[in-house]
Structure 1
Amino acid sequence: MSNATIKNYLRKNPQIRTIRVAACDLNGQPRGKRVPTRFADKVVEDGTRFPLSVLNLDIWGEDIDDSPLVFESGDRDGVLHPTDRGFIPMPWLEAPTALLPIWMFHENGTPYEGDPRHALRAVIERYKARGLTPCVAMELEFFLIDDSGRKLEIPISPRSGKRRKAAETLSIRALDQFDIFFTDLYDACEAMDIPADTAISEAGLGQFEINLMHGDDALRAADDAWLFKMLVRGLARRHGFAASFMAKPYEDYPGSGMHTHFSVLDEDGNNVFDDGGPKGTDTLRHAVAGCLNAMQDSALVFAPHLNSYDRLVPDAHAPTGLCWAYENRTAAIRIPSGSPAARRIEHRVAGGDVNPYLSLAAILGAALNGIEDGKEPPAPINGNAYAQEMEHMPTDWQTAIDRFEASPEMPRIFSKELIRNFVLTKKQELFYMAELSPTEQVEIYLDTV
């Protein structure tokens, strides 16, 4: 999108008085500035500036104590330019406002490798170098929560005035109880050009899932997921309750995941996973092998917070074992049935609390490693993965940090700078989370992740 096209959005929408410019930090938090529209042209043309360290803050928004990005380097600036998304409305705010997504570069114009959006861009460029294009879709689960009292509860239904304290899997009634919210949400998604498709009620208390349509632009898919999370949280507050993508707000109910479906297209637009039958090609198996091979070392990306590990427990609808299967939701990697032309991989490990850019980079990067190496996966499993002997995901935050830091696989996917920054961030959060009560931990995660 040209700068002229980006600026023309504000000419067509004179009711907008202020804009936000925001980039995504390592925790998926939007970091940026509020700017009057009369100065928007300068931001579009010249970019804006803030310290490199701003994309490497902890979950509280604090500097990382021992980061070389802060005092050691003088806390120098990066330059942030608009992505090709352009301006989009922010329907969760009372005043008409537009958001301009931006990403970070060095002064000389080279990408800042600590920016998670650039991490995904680098993986996509590896695919392009091989004449391949990932085709991606995401399913995002979240909870609607009344957090006004001392304990978390499902909100009172605007329709019935009642609070139904039960899980209602695929319940039309549960969707209809919050019809006003979901109608506003779909209208907002259309305004923001987020391809929201099917909504269902899930197995958790007040838990729902919305699918985002597949497309052959993985960067845009991650943009959509990031913006969708921002929208859902903000719009829920306008309706008088909270929405949260935290992995496990309720001990007795399943947590929220972000399942990623992907296939890979060749230069002629053919799906390289399609062999005309139900099993898929050698390339599909190589991609599965790459995902399994990197899964334990990339657990920190898929489960980035202390609360994330409450979700990754047996018999709780989240995968714990390193395995794959055809049409089996207990496996970490599922190959869905259906038309061979749509043969794809579903990666089921990530929680709803992830950074979409990092999660998608880890998944697609690992799959490409497997394709490049020609790896073969173990045999697909049958039956209940929880009841079978196999290797498992890390079960605690410290182990995940250690594996990510020491991994031989992660430098093939992420830059050394991003690995260092992410590890430093998570070590600091691990230290300070230990000082908080469980209630305080929930409070910080509820509105952020």
Structure 2
Amino acid sequence: MTDPKTWLRKNPQVRTIRVAACDLNGQPRGKRVPSRFAHKVVEDGTRFPFSALNLDIWGEDIDDSPLVFESGDRDGVLKPTERGFVPMPWLEAPTALLPIWMFHEGGKPYEGDPRHALAQVVNRYKRHGLTPVVALEMEFFLIDDSTRKLQVPVSPRSGKRRKAAEVLSIRALDTFDIFFTDLYDACEDMDIPADTAISEAGLGQFEINMMHQDDALRAADDAWLFKMLLKGLARRHGFAASFMAKPYEDYAGSGMHMHFSVLDEEGNNIFDDGGPKGTEVLRHAIGGCVNAMHDSTLIFAPHLNSYERLIPENHAPCGISWAYENRTAAIRVPSGSPAARRIEHRVAGGDVNPYLLMATILGAALNGIEDEIEPPEPITGNAYAQDLPLIPTDWESAMDAFEASDIMPRILPQELIRNLLLTKRQEQLYMTELSPLEQVEIYLDTV
């Protein structure tokens, strides 16, 4: 990381900065600061209430949260993360973002901060001499939301609107070539390791894969920053981009699949046995993920709309299973070089908080490794046609499973679990007052 003060000196064109932390819904919460006062944030941090990381999807306080009136709405101290400044190329004026995370007054990490939750899991791996290597597949929609009916944006090249799903279509990518060129340039500026782009099965749906890296916190940062970048840059191009799980009823929704392997202290992949099956440790990691899948569904599907995606035979797993090279299973072990043997966790929607996603999956896998949990036998064939145990397929059931779980407190801090449940219960209450169109409108721009 470049020293933040050095970065500011080298970029005198930046007149304002944003300082932002990630709340439980993945929303950036923070402040705008003139760059001439940025050194104060770099040196001393900044302050805002603990409750600011525990707001609902509308940005409102949680009515019964102990963080608000009961405690006097006390401040936390927010300090820069290891990332340092990154440019914000979707804004017109030269601007930089300084990611921050929350601490108590004496320096103790605030356990309601999702980035700290992931850091705790990574530290558990370190105590075993292990390092997770992770990558995310980022699926999203480009949408014309200029009218009340969501549509594919008009092609900047032809002026036409092509209303069809185009799986792996070069033409679909070329249609938005200027946008994707700007997007990759911006990823380069922000040091986000965006790799391959493809068109997907939904209307105006695309996927960009992130490169594998051995720093899970940085990988989650990349995903969080990429979401901000994509949505902001799309607006500059005259349309919307959204990670909403299911904007179109008749087409597949967006997922955020996570791939991971684990290295030992010598840099060896502990899932690699030199063949296609993988090691016993691989099976134990899968066993931990399978064991936690039901109780952790609220992390993978955190919003009301998330459950519109979890429909059998619609490219989203509902049954709890694993398999070798089988995309109908919830957990897939891809084929390929044994040195790259890894797990692909396929349950989460695109609307998730990437820090909580990584913390939950990596924490569940480590539970399996520590406890030597044996998974069920891998399935073969179509998972949708098999009699499998199911994850919760509605929001309330997922909340109930999360709340009753004795697995989740081993993965996530108790304060974060409490805060997330309070948030989701409040959102559930107010979502029932909205029409389906109003629900889509709030999710389209937020998640």
Shift of 1:330: 0.2
2 CA distance for matches of 1:422 and 1:339? 39
Q: Among 103, 106, 112, which residue is 1:105 paired with?
A: 103
2 CA distance for matches of 1:80 and 1:217? 22
Task: Number of aligned residue pairs: give it.
Answer: 447
> Over residues 15-71 of structure 1, what are the superposed CA-to-partner deviations in whole Å (9 max), with x where a residue is unaligned?
110000000000000000000001000000000000000000000000000000000
Residue 33 (structure 2) pairs with residue 35 (structure 1): yes
Q: Which residue of 2 aligns with 1:233?
A: 231
Q: Which residue of 1 aligns with 2:307?
A: 309
Q: Which residue of 1 aligns with 2:284?
A: 286
1 CA distance for matches of 2:5 and 2:387? 58
Shift of 1:298: 0.3
Shift of 1:393: 1.1
The amino acid that maps onto 1:248 is: K
For the aligned residues, what is the CA RMSD? Answer: 0.5
Q: Which residue of 2 aligns with 1:370?
A: 368
1:321-336 to 2 correspondence within 5 Å?
A: 321-336=319-334
TM-score (norm 1): 0.99
The amino acid that maps onto 1:364 is: L
> Over residues 408-434 of structure 1, what are the superposed CA-to-partner deviations in whole Å (9 max), with x where a residue is unaligned?
000000111000000000000000000
TM-score (norm 2): 1.00
2 CA distance for matches of 1:338 and 1:443? 41
Q: Which residue of 1 aligns with 2:85?
A: 87
Q: Which residue of 1 aligns with 2:268?
A: 270
> Over residues 59-87 of structure 1, what are the superposed CA-to-partner deviations in whole Å (9 max), with x where a residue is unaligned?
00000000000000000000000001000
Q: Which residue of 1 aligns with 2:144?
A: 146
Shift of 1:351: 0.3
Shift of 1:289: 0.5
Q: Among 243, 246, 252, which residue is 2:244 paired with?
A: 246
1:103-142 to 2 correspondence within 5 Å?
A: 103-142=101-140
1 CA distance for matches of 2:89 and 2:445? 18
Q: Which residue of 2 aligns with 1:259?
A: 257
2 CA distance for matches of 1:206 and 1:383? 29
The amino acid that maps onto 2:294 is: Q
> Over residues 244-300 of structure 1, what are the superposed CA-to-partner deviations in whole Å (9 max), with x where a residue is unaligned?
000000000000000000000000000000000000000000000100100010000
The amino acid that maps onto 1:317 is: H
1 CA distance for matches of 2:112 and 2:22? 11
2 CA distance for matches of 1:319 and 1:225? 22
Q: Which residue of 2 aligns with 1:406?
A: 404
Identity within the alignment, %: 81
Q: Which residue of 1 aligns with 2:432?
A: 434
Q: Which residue of 2 aligns with 1:15?
A: 13
The amino acid that maps onto 1:205 is: L
2:21 partner SS: strand
Q: Among 185, 193, 196, which residue is 1:195 paired with?
A: 193
2:257 partner SS: strand
Shift of 1:373: 0.5
In structure 2, the gaps of 5 or more residues are none
1:72 partner SS: helix
2 CA distance for matches of 1:400 and 1:68? 23
1 CA distance for matches of 2:424 and 2:418? 10
2 CA distance for matches of 1:330 and 1:288? 16
Residue 64 (structure 2) pairs with residue 66 (structure 1): yes
2:160 partner SS: coil
2:260 partner SS: strand
Shift of 1:150: 1.8
Shift of 1:394: 0.4
2 CA distance for matches of 1:255 and 1:307? 10
2 CA distance for matches of 1:33 and 1:242? 24
2 CA distance for matches of 1:239 and 1:407? 44
1 CA distance for matches of 2:435 and 2:5? 47
In structure 1, the gaps of 5 or more residues are none
Q: Which residue of 1 aligns with 2:377?
A: 379
Shift of 1:237: 0.2
Shift of 1:90: 0.2
2 CA distance for matches of 1:422 and 1:173? 42
Q: Among 177, 180, 197, which residue is 1:179 paired with?
A: 177
1 CA distance for matches of 2:285 and 2:239? 41
Residue 393 (structure 2) pairs with residue 390 (structure 1): no
2 CA distance for matches of 1:253 and 1:7? 48
Shift of 1:7: 1.1
The amino acid that maps onto 2:4 is: I
The amino acid that maps onto 1:85 is: R
1:279 partner SS: coil
1:354 partner SS: coil
2:295 partner SS: coil
Q: Among 347, 351, 354, which residue is 2:352 paired with?
A: 354
Residue 176 (structure 2) pairs with residue 164 (structure 1): no
The amino acid that maps onto 1:339 is: S
